[in-house]
Amino acid sequence: MDRREYLKQIALLTGAAVVGADLFLSGCSPTGAASFFTKTQIALLDEIGETIIPATDTPGAKAAAVGKFMEVMVRDCYTTEQQIAFKEGMKALETSCQQANGTGFVKSTPQQRHDLLVTLEKEAKEFNQNKKKEQPVHYYTMMKQLTLWGFFSSETGMTKTLRHIPVPGRYDGAVPYTKGEKAWAE
């Protein structure tokens, strides 16, 4: 699967175009900044990712270091407007969590985190449907897309969550599927 097809699939999963995809496909232009987010912000992004893709019998998003992945993608591949929306969104998420739970996202219970993200998912869907063309997508849409992209393109996601054969063998276009089997990594 090529990058364009992979980005299309992420867009279908999240219901919006992948933010920064045009820069990713044409080559990112790093700004040279050593650190775009603080360690606390990266930890927050890891926890958001872990709430979206929790550890079960397979590792979750935190094991794939999606927070660091998000930092690189936002810093190197997002426009200034998208970067501002993302950073302001992190603050808005913390404010919403404080108002709803009386504590920050990292210190909230897993159920509180889940409930907040479900609310943000609905908010993001409505925002993205009604936004102006020049506006960036909702910050939660960016976070969710980067979580999915970072996790499923990581070694952890590809080898411990998906079935993975590092050296492909013959092509078999009609592999029978048994319910509950892992998907294949490409």
Q: Tens of pLDDT along 90-112?
A: 999 999 999 999 999 999 999 99
Cβ contact 88:73 at 8 Å: no
Q: Which helix (H) or strand (E) holds 76?
A: helix 66-77
**Tens digit of each residue's pLDDT (9 = 90 or more) over 152-165:** 999 988 888 887 77
Q: Give yes or no for residue 140 having a pLDDT over 90.
A: yes
Angle CA(38)–CA(16)–CA(115) in degrees, nearest 5?
60
Q: What is the pTM of this model?
A: 0.74
Cβ contact 178:79 at 8 Å: no
pLDDT value, residue 180: 84
